[in-house]
Structure 1
Amino acid sequence: MHAESEKFTVRGRIVDRLSREPVIGASVSVQGLQGVGAATDTTGVFVISGVNPGICRLYVTCIGYKSVLSAEYFVSAKMPTIEIELDEDSKNLNEVTVSVPVIRRVKPSPVSMQIIGLGEIEKSPGGNRDISRIVRSVPGVSFSPIGYRNDLIVRGGSPSENRFFMDGIEIPNINHFATQGASGGPVSILNADLIREVQFYTGAFPADRGGALSSVMDISLLDGNTDENSFKATLGASEVSLSGMGHFGNNTTYLFSVRQSYLQLLFKMIGLPFLPNYIDGQFKIKTKLGKKDEITFLGLTGIDNMKLNTDQEGEDAEYMLSYLPRITQQTFTLGASYKHYAGKNVTTVSLGYNYLGNQNLKYRNNDDSAPENLTLDLSSREQKLSLRAENRTYNDRWTWREGVEAWYAFYNDHTYQRVYHNESSISQYSTDISFAGWAAYGSARYTSENGRLTANMGLRLDGCSYSDLTARFWEHISPTLSLSYKFLPSWAVNIGAGMYHQLPPYTALGYKDENGQLANKSLEYMRVKNAALGVEWTPGKQITVSLEGFYKHYTDIPLSVADNIPLSCKGNDYGVVGNELLVSSAKGRAYGLEATMRWQIPGKLVSMASFTLFKSQYKNNSDAGYINSAWDNRFIANVSATYELPRNWSIGAKLSAIGGSPYTPYDVDKSSLVEAWDAQGRPYYDYSKFNTERLDAFAQLDIRVDKNYYFKGWMLGFYLDIQNITKSVLSQPDVLMSTGVIENPDAPAAEQRYKMKYISQDSGTLLPSIGITVRF
């Protein structure tokens, strides 16, 4: 049969969420295909034939149960068996809804939350299947112009204020070459082949997802294939990967992924002076111990090695090579989760272990032939072991959740660093600390009988043994409340408010002074009060429009004693942040308005437009005035659409625009000092004029084209993903750079100065990514 006309069979099983018994007689239909569906048999199994290949959702209805619009699935010859859970519904005893919805409206949180499905992950223009880039379409999320980094900046917050979870296990970071103490990096560790869905919270965080001030990314992985083993190989512009899913016996399934980068070749081609190379891997093994019990094991690892391209010529390369260190990193997460179903209760016990090893090495002028040229030698490790137990109770209108957490953290750091404040000096210290932490939380979700009112309430307590201040868990209470009320059939009002706490980074907690004592024992938990109010309009099944305002107020933010700016205004470059003397005196605020429209035609069109207007500010203490933060871009706009064409072609485009970020002028006098320049190899900022200047706004257009061929037992796909196809140029301030020539060689060493020059920093290039995928 010709590849263009292949149709496939979708198989699955419908079960009662709590009893795990099969649901008999449920109606299962394919969204967007009239008359294509089936009913479940006495074992809860359904079989739907004649389904077009590609991405689809299933709609399940049954008397006595709540109707469900499923997550997205990829239909092909190697599609795994689907399992969908239904919740009982006492009011749905006589009839069911047969009109298939287009957009999922039942969400864990009614406010400040977006669901990112398989379609957006697979075909997001400019995203290159990198989840850190894909979430930039979500309202309130800024992006890095020209796109060399994945810093996640949400509603004017710092890149260090986000938390990531994968199937309930915390991941410390999701990017290769992450900035220690913050986040970011050029590419995600996660392989999108294994992701089923992402729930992304920009506020109203669930009580069981602690430690975030700006966002929570909750990633759900696929389950393995219970019928057969299948694999996917990808050859892209920057990496080669192999992923697979299958089963061991009747009760155990698996997923895995391995990737090897050759990103350094792409970076060398476009003339960048740093060459990142990485390897990463993931796995998930799930075993059903019986009808009521299951256990899941998962792992994630990344091994990074960033070399410097010292052969690269030009002033831009000269500047970056003057300060960028050689970076090697190792990160991995291991987790295990046991789940038990007992009547209306579901109990989960999970154990997770995180590790981050980070090594930075830098020589002046990248000349390692003489020991005195060493300016930075850092080696540090972060480790965290976490245990969590929780119980969920499902009732007709209420869902209750309560849980406890305990964790133990290890941090060591051996640092040699040449620094300059008023004179050149060597900062050299070793630290090795460990401390325990604890948390307790509870939450409740209520849905009215008519479905018009939804309410979420939560409460969380956090503490740790680092200091007497951090141990006071009664001072770290995080309450949250969100409500949604449908006052008209197509109109709803949403409101949310909460207070959240986050521990400062390990780099700050472990920093020692010249006497070998922990210097930051006075640091508090960082705190933010968050509120949001919005309305949502659904004029039809295919369109939803929302408008949401938000306000965030920060307190107890660490302030750099040396620079007199908050730690939260750092962290968007490679290296380490937080390893300095800090005090918890800074405050901040961010507020704005977000407008979003989604338009979906199943099997044809997925589109979203969003616009965010906001301000982000901080002050050093209660008596100071507000100053623009480093993340105060003022506006973000995104318009994206992907359209499915005949013969399994698809085309997508995304137009993104962002306001200019604030910047700080250089301290020319300090930067020209030989001792100062040699200490860090880059100019110093005049922090007395912090963020008094602003860059121009920037816009870029990304496109993506996909073509798939479906055969009886395998699939062949091609894609072209191009970022910044218009070659938009980002104009940045000229960089102050040393010429290496000393103007006054006869002066005392502390007074000698380099002759300086300025280097143009206009940048912008087209970034193509071409790939081939094979599913077999």
Structure 2
Amino acid sequence: MKKLLLLFTCSIIAFVGFAQPTQTIRGKIVDKESKFPLVGVTALLMNNAAQPVGAVTDVDGTFRVANVAVGRQTLRFTLVGYKEILLNNIVVEAGRETVLNLEMEEAITELNTVVVKVKRSGEAANEMAMVSARQFSVEETERYAGSRGEPARMASNFAGVQGADDSRNDIVIRGNSPSGVLWRLEGVSIPNPNHFAISGTSGGPVSIINNKYLANSDFFTGAFPAEFGNTTAGVFDLKLRNGNNEKHEFGAQFGFLGTEATAEGPLSKKSKSSYLVTGRYANLWLFNKAGIDIGTQAVPSYADGFARFNFPLKNGGNVALWGIGGTSTVDILVSEQEVSDRNIFGQNDRDQYFTSKMALGGITYNQPLNKSTFFKATLAVSNNIQDANHDFLFLRKDAVGNPLVQNQKYVIDSLRPILDYKFSDTKYSLATALNKKWGAKSTLKVGVNADMIRFTAFDDVRNLNETTNQLTPWRRRWNADAEGFIQLQPYIQFKHYLTQNVALNVGLSSFYSSINKNSYSPIEPRAGLSWELPNRQKITFATGLHSQGLPTYLYFYNPANTGTANTFPAKNVGLMKSWHFVAGYSKMLAENLRLLAEVYYQRLYDVPVEIQKSSFSILNSGAGFSRFFPNPLQNAGKGRNYGVELTLEKFFSNNYYFLVTASVFDAKYQGSDGVWRNTDFNGKYAFNALFSKEFTFKKRKSLNIGAKYTATGGRWYGPADITASRQSQEVIYADATRNSLQFSPYNRFDIKTEYKINRNRLTHTIAVDLVNVLGIQNLLSLSYVPQAPYVKQEYQLGFLPVFFYRINF
């Protein structure tokens, strides 16, 4: 009997250890416009086309497919009168349930006509978007080689987008300044969501946003719908996901970029309320220990976290409380570095102490009012802080005035404070929207986005007098004590199907800022047209007027430190304007192969430039770790961008995918001197090629091997004015010859491997992202050094291996 019991126990253990791991796919499906739950939607798992397994949504719009084999799955969702949804790259892991929240669009049908239309992965969720828009998923941020799991770096693979800066994730869209990119979360505009953020920029070295809590989100590169305001370049419209409301799930991750922990689950299984929390702490010291070049000998430190609590209401509504925050610190001590050490994140003649903080919290309310009307509102508050102190290095010099070097280090005579500043930007935001649909043909969306901004800042600086080798007296450039102003952006947009295959979208937006009397754009028309042709072809067109104000800190720059209005160089500067024109063509070449082409033209006017004749333009701002200190500005500048973009995308099927994007463009601007020049970001071309192949082993294990090649034109610069550079202790370009020279083209090849092991209710993932695996040296910028020739070339990061191990259970 004991032998039989032992044999039975061993058999059970063997069965559990080697049985095929499975997991549940479930979710909720609602109408795209009204967000009302859809009953009777058929969800089919297409892993076996001859005998598909499926489920049907209930009265709450929910469905459940149990015992789904782990791996990549294809699902098709159908409902009479609605466009089908085909998802052919759903990753099912043993360690966590796959929860899908989908929106179906009502189909336009004519008498005696039956047309099958399919909405595929990648199409923008925003119903008003006609062109230059794409939905991206969390899976894409992890799949793309070189993306490091960040939305911004992932988006640099799309046509018309450049991300050719290894040290930062700035997004350059169609030659526009990265400061023109708008980040939104749950409908409200948010501060720069990056660690080590600098005022007036939208990028940074590491994102605070963690893909662990993102839902599928939209990315726009031009001619945005009317709901997006105060932007001229692009939009990241991020959505948050809810935690699992049925079971508790946990995850942990360790890697070069950080140690992370995630927990989610039900607060109450009866009410279906849920929680989702994450936390991350930097491990960048690992790079230093391993001798990997990250551009500086300093070891940056950062941490971030997120929490979301969701509470369902009656009739399909819900309330969610959420918050995100991050802090980062780096001490770049040039006094302790060797002369040859690289320092691409700071200046070479001083010790620099820098801290940044970002916090954002809000409450979001969603409620379908009936089967045709939906209301959403988000109330949020955010705060963004930068705090910096610099100590200037007084170097001992030899008889001819060259700095003394001993043991490969500068000989320091003394360190004296030269810069002290702190900026704090607090914003209270409200975003409301009401969707109303009339049958399948017409949808109206109205709303308003409102912000109240309070800016507190001080900035004290002194300069080096080279004649006396002494520092000048302290001078205050910013002295703002909770200065406040409001921004309002009401909008209305209407979408109507003229025929079954032709959709028209028209809208009006307006933007007002109380910062000054010139910051008002009363009417900004937007329009788009989509025409579906036979043989799975589509032609699109969109146009619109867009406006944008200056970064907040520039309005309060006061180098004279007086209360006189004319001593604020940017105090009365109005909005920059941009007309967008985009035409597109797309065709499904095969079941999972799509070709997309777009041509665009942007006319920029009322661009802030200096009153005195110069080459300065705000169109060159927003990249790097420097603030701008302009002379008095006026809205007299111009700009124009035009180009052609091609995308060839093979959606993930048969265990592989590829994406090829190519852009040819030209971006020029005109300063107050009337000369047309290349913008800093006019790379002329951009090319990306990505490929990934997945190998599966007995359905338990999988190996994904991917590669990416990027090639873009170099950024523009000009000869340096050495005298002015020595006076300012930073590179100052000769004004007349600005942007007459171009860095060499940027090239990079990345490889990513990911090995996944599924056990019962447990998933292990090991990934290695080899960024710039060939170690190609790409120029980044020019920097100032305190000895002849006073200017040197700085190179981008070389080979950078990024490793992580993750477990979900």
Change (3 A) 1:733 1:280: closer
Q: What is residue 490 of structure 1 aligned with on the other side? A: 536
CA drift of 1:275 comes to: 2.8
Given that 1:121 and 1:131 are in contact with CA atoms closer than 8 Å, whether structure 2 keeps it comes out as yes
Q: What is residue 527 of structure 1 aligned with on the other side? A: 577
Distance in 2, Cα, partners of 1:14 & 1:156: 38
Q: What is residue 699 of structure 1 aligned with on the other side? A: 747
Q: What is residue 97 of structure 2 aligned with on the other side? A: 79
1:279 maps to 2:303 = yes
- Residue 257 of structure 1 aligns to which amino acid in structure 2? T
List alignment gaps of at least 5 residues for structure 2. Answer: 1-15, 396-411
The CA deviation string for residues 240-264 of structure 1, in whole angstroms up to 9 with x for no partner, is: 0112221211231222211101224
1:456 maps to 2:505 = yes
Superposed counterparts of 1:114-129, under 5 Å:
114-129=134-149
CA drift of 1:277 comes to: 1.1
Q: What is residue 9 of structure 2 aligned with on the other side? A: none
- Residue 40 of structure 1 aligns to which amino acid in structure 2? V
Given that 1:454 and 1:485 are in contact with CA atoms closer than 8 Å, whether structure 2 keeps it comes out as yes
Deviation larger for 402-411 or 573-582: 573-582
Match of 2:352 among 325, 344, 355: 325
Match of 2:605 among 555, 562, 573: 555
Deviation larger for 36-45 or 646-655: 36-45
CA drift of 1:585 comes to: 2.2
Given that 1:486 and 1:492 are in contact with CA atoms closer than 8 Å, whether structure 2 keeps it comes out as yes
Q: What SS does structure 2 have at the residue aligned with 1:10?
A: strand
Q: What SS does structure 2 have at the residue aligned with 1:443?
A: strand
1:315 maps to 2:340 = yes
Deviation larger for 630-639 or 3-12: 3-12
RMSD of aligned residue pairs (Cα, Å): 3.0
Q: What is residue 514 of structure 2 aligned with on the other side? A: 465
CA drift of 1:17 comes to: 6.2
Change (3 A) 1:54 1:195: farther
1:261 maps to 2:282 = yes
Q: What is residue 588 of structure 1 aligned with on the other side? A: 639
Superposed counterparts of 1:97-136, under 5 Å:
103=121, 105=123, 108=126, 109-136=129-156
1:605 maps to 2:656 = yes
Q: What is residue 630 of structure 1 aligned with on the other side? A: 680
Superposed counterparts of 1:665-684, under 5 Å:
665-672=719-726, 676=727, 679-680=728-729, 682-684=730-732
Distance in 1, Cα, partners of 2:738 & 2:704: 46
Change (3 A) 1:379 1:105: closer
Distance in 1, Cα, partners of 2:36 & 2:624: 52
Distance in 1, Cα, partners of 2:577 & 2:752: 40
- Residue 231 of structure 1 aligns to which amino acid in structure 2? F
Q: What SS does structure 2 have at the residue aligned with 1:275?
A: coil
Distance in 1, Cα, partners of 2:121 & 2:606: 40
Q: What is residue 52 of structure 1 aligned with on the other side? A: 69
1:539 maps to 2:589 = yes
- Residue 505 of structure 2 aligns to which amino acid in structure 1? N
Distance in 1, Cα, partners of 2:781 & 2:186: 43
Change (3 A) 1:376 1:66: same
Distance in 1, Cα, partners of 2:54 & 2:28: 11
The CA deviation string for residues 516-551 of structure 1, in whole angstroms up to 9 with x for no partner, is: 345123200111111111211212221111111111
Deviation larger for 110-119 or 511-520: 511-520
Q: Return the TM-score normalized by structure 2.
A: 0.86
Given that 2:444 and 2:494 are in contact with CA atoms closer than 8 Å, whether structure 1 keeps it comes out as yes
Given that 1:702 and 1:721 are in contact with CA atoms closer than 8 Å, whether structure 2 keeps it comes out as yes
CA drift of 1:464 comes to: 1.9
Q: Return the TM-score normalized by structure 1.
A: 0.90
Given that 2:347 and 2:784 are in contact with CA atoms closer than 8 Å, whether structure 1 keeps it comes out as no
CA drift of 1:664 comes to: 1.6
Distance in 1, Cα, partners of 2:725 & 2:539: 53
The CA deviation string for residues 214-272 of structure 1, in whole angstroms up to 9 with x for no partner, is: 00011122221111111111101120011222121123122221110122442673342
Superposed counterparts of 1:58-457, under 5 Å:
58-69=75-86, 73-77=90-94, 78-89=96-107, 91=109, 103=121, 105=123, 108=126, 109-145=129-165, 147-249=166-268, 250-266=271-287, 269-271=291-293, 272-310=296-334, 311-317=336-342, 320-322=347-349, 325-343=352-370, 344-365=372-393, 373-395=416-438, 396-419=440-463, 426-429=474-477, 430-432=479-481, 433-450=483-500, 452-457=501-506
Given that 2:349 and 2:786 are in contact with CA atoms closer than 8 Å, whether structure 1 keeps it comes out as no
Distance in 2, Cα, partners of 1:737 & 1:85: 56
Match of 2:26 among 11, 14, 18: 11
Given that 1:126 and 1:721 are in contact with CA atoms closer than 8 Å, whether structure 2 keeps it comes out as yes
Q: What is residue 750 of structure 1 aligned with on the other side? A: none
Distance in 2, Cα, partners of 1:100 & 1:634: 36
Distance in 2, Cα, partners of 1:377 & 1:596: 47
Distance in 2, Cα, partners of 1:358 & 1:151: 18
Distance in 2, Cα, partners of 1:215 & 1:598: 22
Q: What is residue 565 of structure 1 aligned with on the other side? A: 616
Deviation larger for 724-733 or 652-661: 724-733
Distance in 2, Cα, partners of 1:592 & 1:768: 34
Given that 2:56 and 2:63 are in contact with CA atoms closer than 8 Å, whether structure 1 keeps it comes out as yes
Distance in 2, Cα, partners of 1:54 & 1:407: 44
CA drift of 1:112 comes to: 0.7
Distance in 1, Cα, partners of 2:19 & 2:137: 25
Deviation larger for 41-50 or 491-500: 41-50
Q: What SS does structure 2 have at the residue aligned with 1:132?
A: helix
Change (3 A) 1:204 1:22: closer
Deviation larger for 243-252 or 48-57: 48-57
Change (3 A) 1:573 1:315: same
Change (3 A) 1:3 1:576: farther
Q: What SS does structure 2 have at the residue aligned with 1:646?
A: strand
Distance in 1, Cα, partners of 2:465 & 2:738: 17
The CA deviation string for residues 571-600 of structure 1, in whole angstroms up to 9 with x for no partner, is: 322143367643322221111111111112
Distance in 2, Cα, partners of 1:733 & 1:361: 23
Given that 2:179 and 2:623 are in contact with CA atoms closer than 8 Å, whether structure 1 keeps it comes out as no
Deviation larger for 81-90 or 506-515: 81-90
CA drift of 1:601 comes to: 3.7
Given that 1:683 and 1:737 are in contact with CA atoms closer than 8 Å, whether structure 2 keeps it comes out as no
Deviation larger for 602-611 or 722-731: 602-611
CA drift of 1:461 comes to: 0.8
Change (3 A) 1:361 1:195: same
Identity of counterpart residues, as a percentage?
Answer: 23
Given that 2:667 and 2:681 are in contact with CA atoms closer than 8 Å, whether structure 1 keeps it comes out as yes
CA drift of 1:168 comes to: 1.7
Q: What is residue 13 of structure 2 aligned with on the other side? A: none
CA drift of 1:488 comes to: 2.7
The CA deviation string for residues 2-36 of structure 1, in whole angstroms up to 9 with x for no partner, is: 56942333233445568877645432123555233
Change (3 A) 1:530 1:325: farther
